[in-house]
Structure 1
């Protein structure tokens, strides 16, 4: 069995198809372990590429993908992957800008989802930032580094969360997710 080779850059170059970056050491100190820039919101069409890329990068199989139900279209129950079916779980309690990949024998990988249609420059910057280490940085700050949400006194966004864990929608103005 040969060990697959990977680019030394944190951006995985599987023919540039997955548009995926991973922290090279995966030290689990950041709020995310990397980022993914899908071309569309069609989960059925988009999920096979990052699953395959993460499988190759880690040499282990992705077993399950967790995502926000309202952030995606055409969410299947399972995604075909090499030699197996990867289960897809969808939730409304998860951050819509994150997906979680559960992997055999290791902690789950959390990826920031860069919205489809994002311009190349900001998307490339977010891919690099997410792979460089994100300790103490909120996913929203990776997507909007120059424009943190109003009403947030600090990076932890503590003023805009209820004590039960839900976001207080009245104190944070809704705005489209674009960069």
Structure 2
């Protein structure tokens, strides 16, 4: 599978084109399975608005995505169901089981994929380096958090790589309160079938 990357400024949008394409890089077809299958660079931390563009790209390539799982550390709101074009994707959150910088995707037909989630405010150069590292077939396999830490140590602090305080979240989300839907006070358990 070839990589699809859409950097700001390289894509011309008309007023009619309201749904931007996903900024995504995937490992090549036939590449060895590792800890990550690619990287996704969403434009915001709003799963309701970001996930449909990602699913539009992945459904034809990987079969219908039915479930996702994220760690709630960097996602202000995690809805239980996310409508995408033609179906609904069920969302789950798992605190200790899912790396905070990873999105887990599940399909009944094909299986599981893990994508590095690059923080939305990351600059284009850092995002390109992270996408290349997540899809590289060389070197030891690294977790999503290890890739983020390596990028930070080599090229400086990723300011977007930290949880937002409630005031920042209010401003960033356009005045929407920073609440987590369905996030309990105790750690979660990974359940088969979510």
Pair 120,96 (structure 1): closer, same or farther in 2 beyond 3 Å: same
- SS of residue matched to 2:126: helix
Query: Aligned ranges for residues 79-158 of structure 1 at < 5 Å?
Result: 79-93=82-96, 94-133=98-137, 135-145=140-150, 147=153
- Per-residue deviation, 1:26: 5.9
- SS of residue matched to 1:62: coil
- Within 2, Cα distance between the matches of 1:75 and 1:42? 8
Deviation string, structure 1 residues 82-125 (Cα, Å, up to 9, x no partner): 32111011111221100111012222010000011001101011
Structure 1 gap ranges (5+): 1-7, 149-174
Q: TM-score, normalising length from structure 1?
A: 0.69
Pair 86,138 (structure 1): closer, same or farther in 2 beyond 3 Å: closer
- Per-residue deviation, 1:12: 5.3
Match of 1:70 in 2: 73
User: RMSD of aligned C-alpha atoms?
Assistant: 2.5
- Within 2, Cα distance between the matches of 1:74 and 1:139? 21
Match of 1:162 in 2: none
Query: Aligned ranges for residues 24-63 of structure 1 at < 5 Å?
Result: 24-25=28-29, 27=31, 29-58=33-62, 60-63=63-66
Structure 2 gap ranges (5+): 12-19, 163-194
Pair 105,28 (structure 1): closer, same or farther in 2 beyond 3 Å: farther
Pair 26,18 (structure 1): closer, same or farther in 2 beyond 3 Å: farther
Number of residue pairs aligned between Structure 1 and Structure 2: 143
Q: TM-score, normalising length from structure 2?
A: 0.64
2:103/2:116 contact within 8 Å kept: yes
Larger % of strand: which?
1
- Per-residue deviation, 1:69: 1.7
- Per-residue deviation, 1:41: 1.1
Which residue, out of 3, 10, 20, partners 1:10?
3
